[in-house]
Structure 1
Amino acid sequence: MKKVLLALTAVAAMTGSASAADLGARPYVKAPMPAPVANWTGFYVFGGGGGGLSNADQHVQTTVGAVPLTIDQRQGGSGWFGTVGAGYDWQFSGTWVAGVFADGQFGSIRATIQDPIVGITGNQKLETSWAAGVRLGWLVAPNVLSYVNGGYSGAHFGQTNFTTLGGTPAGIHLNSYNRNGWFVGGGVENSLNIFGVSSPGWFMKTEYRSAFYNAKTSNELFDGTNALVGRDIRANSWNQTISTSLVYRFNWTGPVVAKY
């Protein structure tokens, strides 16, 4: 009896081994990967250009004899400019981006300075300016950022040469000067891939900016090298610009995929 049981056990063992050998190896199934996530954190540089409008609220005071005459007026103008800059962004909470930046502008945005009491007028140019500030944005898409910004700004206004209201040179000028102020604005930045262009790291941004500069009291109008007394022009300068820039983001070599 024992011999019979031992024989049956041996047969069962051999049958089980043969069945296991007939089974193929278990196939390896790779875990699904999540969709690529864009990363906006990193440094960037940009350059571009645009157009601007200039407005100035002016208070003109001129002393004729013993009687002071005054007039308040708003003068304006327009022009173009180029811009270059750099910045750094941090992406947080999934779809929010915050950053710091600095840029410079150069060009010719003109505004009129006029003294209708004496009868002189001239064009003043905003020749160069700079800005440093912060921005906060929200990703409307993984590669499209809508943002607002603000900060501090400085500007250089060139020399103004006056003519009579009839256009004849008056032989009077106002020296160039610098003013400081602040700005607010906003815009949209997007990867060029949105247009079907394969260009990792290259972006385009379009931005509106409104800058307000401290008032300047011009009480030194010059006839050649001599200051003319009794003439005083005080102006607040407000400049609005719209620019389009090409942006290169150093960290953007492609979508970032989470590691497992």
Structure 2
Amino acid sequence: MKKTLLALAAIAAMTGSASAADLGARPYVKAPMPAPVANWTGFYIFGGGGGGLSNADQHINDTATGIPLTIDQRQGGSGWFGTVGAGYDWQFSGTWVAGVFGDAQFGSIRATIQDPIFDITGTQKLETSWAAGVRLGWLAAPNVLTYVNGGYSGAHFGRTNFMDLAGVDAGVHLNSYDRHGWFIGGGVENSLNFFGINSPGWFMKTEYRSAFYNAKTQSELDNVTNLPFVGGHDIRANSWNQTISTSLVYRFNWTGPVVAKY
């Protein structure tokens, strides 16, 4: 009986060894790679354009006495502009981005200036402006940044020539001037790869901004002498400008998503 059991065990052992020899080597399975992580830290430049609206609360004073002659009236206008700028961002805590930037705008955003007492009307043009500020954003996706921004702004308003009701030059103008104020806004910036375009480093930014400039009091001046118009008025007005722009952005450090190595 013992001899029989030993024979069966030997046969089973040889059968198992033969079966193992017939099996191929176990295939190598590579560990799964983590999802790519975008790196938003670095310098960038941008350029683009858009459109804007201008609003101003105005009232008329007597030039000699400074006594208000009218109550506030709101005038408005619209136009277009181009913009260029640069900045630097820091990515932190995974999905948060903070940065500093500066930009300049140039174009023609026009607003109406009116003296209802003399029945004369002019057009004031926002010719150039600049801004310096900070922004804080959150990554809605590795290549999509949503953000808010704010900061300091300055603007140059061109000369205003007045016309009478018949459209004839009234011989009165306001000189050009500079004003300063602050702005607040927000937008979305995304890699062009978001649209299926293979363009490392290139992004598109769409932004809304509101800029508020300090009030300015100006005397109506004679077109010939550039002196206060005889029996003239002063016009006091503030300025509130809203803009929407779309820009192309190039990020110098962006050579594609960073992938962890093993």
Query: Which TM-score band applies after superposition, normalised by the shorter structure?
Result: 0.7 to 0.9
Aligned position for 2:251: 249
> Partner residue of 1:234?
236
- Corresponding letter in the other structure for 1:247: V
2:94 aligned partner:
94
What CA distance in whole angstroms lies between the structure 1 residues aligned with 2:226 and 2:54?
29
Matching of residues 88-237 of structure 1 within 5 Å: 88-228=88-228, 230-237=232-239
Structure 2 Cα separation of the partners of residues 146 and 116 of structure 1: 45
Q: Which runs of 5+ in 1 are unaligned?
A: 1-21
Identity %: 84
Contact conserved, 1:62 with 1:118, CA < 8 A, in 2? no
Trace 1:74-85 onto structure 2 (pairs within 5 A). Answer: 74-85=74-85
Q: Offset at 1:194?
A: 1.0
Q: Deviations over 1:128-166 (max 9, x none)?
A: 000000000101111011100000000000001111122
The match for 2:260 is 258
Query: 1:238 corresponds to which letter in structure 2?
Result: W
Does the 8 Å contact 1:63/1:69 carry over to 2?
no
Deviation at 1:167, TM superposition (A): 1.1
Q: CA deviation at 1:231?
A: 1.0
Q: Which runs of 5+ in 2 are unaligned?
A: 1-20
Q: In the TM superposition, what is the alpha-carbon distance from 1:31 to its structure 2 partner?
A: 4.3
Alignment of 1:21-100 (within 5 A): 30-62=30-62, 69-100=69-100
Residue pair 1:61, 1:71 contacting (<8 A) in 2 also: no
Shift of 1:34: 1.7
Secondary structure class of the residue paired with 1:58: strand
Question: Structure 2: how far apart are the matches of 1:132 and 1:186?
Answer: 14
Name the count of aligned residue pairs.
239
Asked whether the 8 Å contact 2:54–2:109 carries over to 1, the reply is: yes
CA, structure 1 residues 158+56, in 2 after alignment: closer, same or farther (shift >3 Å)?
A: same
CA distance in 1, matches of 2:194, 2:78: 32
SS of the equivalent of 1:228 reads coil
Measured in 2, the distance between the counterparts of 1:250 and 1:63 equals 55
C-alpha deviation, 1:235, in angstroms: 0.3
Could you say what secondary structure the match of 1:138 adopts? Answer: strand
Q: Distance in 2 between matches of 1:235 and 1:26?
A: 82
Counterpart-to-counterpart distance in 2, 1:68 and 1:205:
45
User: CA shift at 1:71, angstroms?
Assistant: 3.4
Taking structure 2 as the reference length, the TM-score comes to 0.85
Once the two structures are TM-superposed, the CA of residue 27 in structure 1 deviates from its matched residue by: 7.9
| Cα offset, 1:223, TM superposition | 3.3
CA separation in 2, counterparts of 1:122 and 1:184? 29
Q: What amino acid is aligned across from residue 249 of structure 2 in structure 1?
A: V
Cα distance in 1 for residues equivalent to 2:86 and 2:63: 48
SS of equivalent to 2:193: helix
* Shift in CA distance, 115/259, structure 1 to aligned 2, threshold 3 Å: same
Query: Equivalents in 2 of 1:137, 1:173: separation in Å?
Result: 44
Question: What amino acid is the match of 2:195?
Answer: F
Deviates more, 1:222-231 or 1:95-104: 222-231
